[in-house]
Amino acid sequence: MRPDLEIISELIAPESRVLDLGCGSGALLFHLQADKSVNGYGLEIDREHILECVAKGVNVIEQDLDEGLANFSDDSFDFVVMTETLQAVKRPDKAIDEMLRVGREAIVTFPNFGHLACRLQIALQGRMPVTGHLPNQWYDTPNTHMCTFRDFEQFCRDRGIPIRERFVVNNVYNNNWLINRLPNLFGTTAYYRIGRA
Amino acid sequence: MATTREAEYPQDSVGRVVPQRAVWDVPFVLKSGSRLPGYELVYETYGELNRSKSNAVLVCHALSGNHHAAGYHAGETRPGWWETAIGPGKTIDTNRFFVVSPNNIGGCHGSTGPNAINPETGKAWGAEFPQVTVEDWVASQAALADLLGIERFAAVIGGSLGGMQALYWAIEYPDRIGHAVAIASAPWLSAQNIAFNEIARHAIQTDPDYLDGGFLEAGKIPERGLMLARMLGHVTYLSGFGLGQRFGREIRRGDLSGRGSLEFEVESYLHYQGRNFAGKFDANSYVNITRVLDLFDLRAKHGGELAHAFKDATCHFLILAFSSDWRFSPERSKEIVDALVAANKGVVSAVIETEHGHDAFLLQEPAAYHRLFRAYMDRVALGCG
């Protein structure tokens, strides 16, 4: 299994109800269904991805995340998952609010703008960072709300959102003493499990 | 001669088909409380039932459909109404599935309905034929399944009113259905839809040849009323954009000067569709079946809660809608999907981009529709063993 999905899967309790926002090919839900008896639903808009979900026997609903989650009632899910997308939605703060309304807990992952490579490019070249984990140019990037781990954690503190678990890795999904010591400098992606305020 | 013609059927068609008939001599008490002394269903089947009888698929027709869903009747050049979807190698692949397609009670193409003889009077039922419901249809389809030795359908599939039957199967016979496929459907009829149906009924019932439903006895057909009903229906089944694409403002004949009577292409199309329909469809059936639609409400027996209606369902659902369908809009399918999620049921749903409106479910296009439908049917086939 893909190492990033392995990490998320670790954060999800067996037999729970899971909503995966932007579920892609359905790989995470397929794994959770098979190994953890999870009852999952994925939201997706890409036609090819929807076909892949159907082929895997994964529940998939065509729905645009920017139109919100108003059609789901409060407490519909145990976990609402959003992988690598928080930085690309119109209003990340409202997305988090909605995830924690529909689900009891949320799992979010996003790329770290505070990584050493980003800091060096801005500091030394005076240019917007283009790195292995952030490959787009400033003009074509979908990532309109970049933040650092520290920013996100401050956001959670300000709103009283408890961070239940955090797992930080580099761009080959490894996690070492250096990353654990200085995650905001050496980590490229973080996996957060957060709860309600 | 016959063999020559059969060789000309397209490779991906089930070819020549012969309707079959099932007869029940026992009374059938309808949901309305009325009683049919007995009833008959005319139906077609395509493909082979496997030894474990696990590959049966029920196809439910919509308002103007019937049992002839695929293939060709002897001497006819037009195939069944869902030839685009049913056949060897097609979306509903008859190499894999045994497809059962009945004509519903209240219809007018062979099953017991207003144009059949009431054995108790010796005359055609006419407008006296009792009001039927989706519930009655599903019960009669289950009786047909019993007769064919089918314990459980791998899938029950339908578009529009056909989709409503599939949803009802999921709720009423949870042990007898593996998958429910509802395309361009709705959980209940909106006021707007009831309004359109009433305009159609009014057109028929005020036609002087309708004779309070007694036109058969008098040897007449309320052609103007049926034509109007069908022309109205057709406009609502297509999108404005789609009509424009297809017919534009092209004039078929005549002009402003008054030479010949002016007729736009779109008018010509509607006239043809209306006239053709009036010659084939019984007016009392049309009145009865539009009422079947009006009366449909999945929530009715479940305290007005759609999610609650689905609570006992065990099958998996495919819910498809078409972007330009305003008669049964994507929002209506979304209501079904949201209720299924709230009820914890397995579901796949998508909105297919197309300008073809409600009628898209009958068409070969758009490709995305059949790709997804087919991918889903592959899953259904996996479950057939």
DSSP for B280-296, please give it.
Answer: TS-HHHHHHHHHHHHH-
CA–CA dist B165, B105 (Å, integer): 13
**Domain, as residue range, for B40:** 2-188+297-382
**Which of B333, B358, B359, B370 is flagged as catalytic?**
B358
In a domain, A20, yes or no: yes
Q: Specify the pLDDT at position B99.
A: 98
pLDDT digits (tens, 9 = 90+) for B6-38: 568 999 999 999 999 999 999 999 999 999 999
- Cβ of residue B338 closer than 8 Å to a chain A Cβ: yes
Domain of B181, CATH number, reads 3.40.50.1820
Q: Are B56 and B145 in contact (CB under 8 A)?
A: yes
pLDDT digits (tens, 9 = 90+) for B330-369: 999 999 999 999 999 999 999 999 999 999 999 988 899 9
**Residue showing tokens 């019984």:** B282
**Domain, as residue range, for A102:** 3-112+146-194
How high is the ipTM of this complex? 0.91
- Cβ of residue A102 closer than 8 Å to a chain B Cβ: no
To the nearest whole number, what is the mean pLDDT of chain A? Answer: 94
Give the closest of A59, A71, A76 to B348, CB-based: A59
**Which of B93, B207, B282, B325 is flagged as catalytic?**
B325
Q: Which of B273, B295, B317 delimits the end of a domain?
A: B295
**Are residues B222 and B180 part of one domain?**
no
Q: Inform me whether the pLDDT recorded for B259 exceeds 80.
A: no
Question: How many domains would you assign to chain B?
Answer: 2
What residues contact A139, with CB distance under 8 A and at least 6 apart?
none
Q: Judging by beta carbons within 10 Å of its beta carbon (0-12, 13-18, 19+), is residue B94 exposed, middle or buried?
A: buried
Give the closest of A39, A51, A73 to B375, CB-based: A51
Quote the pTM value: 0.94
pLDDT digits (tens, 9 = 90+) for A77-98: 999 999 988 999 999 999 999 9
Q: Specify the pLDDT at position B3.
A: 45
Q: Inform me whether the pLDDT recorded for B4 exceeds 50.
A: no
Q: What is the token pair recorded at B58? A: 């029920």
Bond before A183 cis per omega within 30 degrees: no
In a domain, A32, yes or no: yes
Q: Is there a contact between B342 and A76 if contact means CB atoms under 8 Å apart?
A: yes
Q: Inform me whether the pLDDT recorded for A99 exceeds 80.
A: yes
pLDDT digits (tens, 9 = 90+) for A128-151: 999 988 999 999 999 999 999 999
DSSP string, A136-160: S-TTT-S--S---HHHHHHHHHHHT
**Are residues B267 and B301 part of one domain?**
no
Q: Contacts from B192-199 at CB under 8 Å and sequence distance 24+?
A: B193/B293, B193/B294, B193/B327, B193/B328, B194/B293, B194/B294, B196/B232, B196/B233, B196/B236, B196/B327, B197/B290, B197/B291, B197/B293, B197/B294, B199/B229, B199/B232
What is residue B128's DSSP assignment? G
**What's the CA dihedral at A9, A14, A15, A18 to 10 degrees?**
-30
Which helix H or strand E contains B159, and what residues bound it?
Answer: strand B155-159
Scanning chain B, the segments in alpha helix (DSSP H) are 2-7, 134-147, 161-172, 191-205, 223-237, 240-247, 265-278, 283-295, 306-309, 330-342, 367-382
Q: Which of B277, B295, B313 delimits the end of a domain?
A: B295
What residues contact A135, with CB distance under 8 A and at least 6 apart?
none
- Cβ of residue B232 closer than 8 Å to a chain A Cβ: no
Domain of B200, CATH number, reads 1.10.1740.110
Q: Specify the pLDDT at position B7.
A: 62
Catalytic: B325? Answer: yes
**Are residues B178 and B220 part of one domain?**
no
**Are residues B112 and B27 part of one domain?**
yes
Q: Which of B262, B295, B328 delimits the end of a domain?
A: B295
